[in-house]
Amino acid sequence: DREKKLGFAMAAMAAHVQYEPSVGAGGLGGYVARYLSASEVRPEIIPYEEGHRLRFCPPSVRAQLQPGLRDPAAPLCGDERVEASAHIGAPAKAAPATAYPYRVLEGFEGLRVGDGVELQWKMQFGSPFGWWFGHLEELTKDADGDTAMATLTFRHFPANSRWYRLSVRIGDEELRPCAFGGFTGGIRPVSADEQRHWMRFFPKEPVVF
């Protein structure tokens, strides 16, 4: 729900977030979200009462993706450079593929056809993955047993939209080009509680570009 723009509907995007008592209305303060990106992005001020829009890396994938760990010798990326230079929107550098949220989620355990899932997707090669909510329509395991072809639907788009259905290969650590443009990583199943939370952001009308 980044910046409440339609292009980020039903998506969770990577950012450094901190509470600031001096921003927002009503004296409650708010949150400053500095999005990680390969291009220039202004910070977003999120009011305190919209704190439900924030989350950390999903618990079910933390052990594999290891958020919070990075190579101290690696170049700063996205708005990390803001903290170092105090110049908002400084150009980004590519981050190592082993660092969260750039790391591809491997495996396909727990995926069930018909259930809600989150897909790792990004438009620019040097950007981090966002998590995009959809439903698993089909899952076909490959002969090697390590990869599979998954078909997802994104129901906030009309059924006749080019953005409604997508097939992706998952399971290994490969970053793959996406038919929508950009690149895909892995897929994770979402719990019933997580799906209920996602539904708080489901658009009232189908998203049309």
pLDDT in tens, 159-200: 999 999 999 999 999 999 999 999 999 999 999 999 999 999
Using the structure block, give the residue that is written with the tokens 């690696």.
Answer: 74
Asked if 96 and 74 touch (Cβ cutoff 8 Å), the reply is yes
Task: Please tell me the predicted confidence (pLDDT) of residue 70.
Answer: 55
86 pLDDT higher than 50: no
Fill in the DSSP letter of residue 177.
E
Task: Please tell me the predicted confidence (pLDDT) of residue 1.
Answer: 85
149 pLDDT higher than 80: yes
51 pLDDT higher than 90: yes
**Distance separating alpha carbons of residues 114 and 19, to the nearest angstrom:** 37
Task: Please tell me the predicted confidence (pLDDT) of residue 109.
Answer: 96
Q: Omega into 101 within 30° of 0, i.e. cis?
A: yes
Task: Please tell me the predicted confidence (pLDDT) of residue 98.
Answer: 76
Confidence of residue 95 (pLDDT cuts 50, 70, 90): low
Task: Please tell me the predicted confidence (pLDDT) of residue 26.
Answer: 80
pLDDT in tens, 57-71: 999 999 999 998 654
**Whole-prediction pTM:** 0.86
One-letter amino acid at 177 equals: P
Supply 126's token pair.
């040097």
Rounded to the nearest 10 degrees, how much is the dihedral formed by the CA atoms of 132, 50, 14, 45? 130
Task: Please tell me the predicted confidence (pLDDT) of residue 208.
Answer: 95
Confidence of residue 209 (pLDDT cuts 50, 70, 90): confident
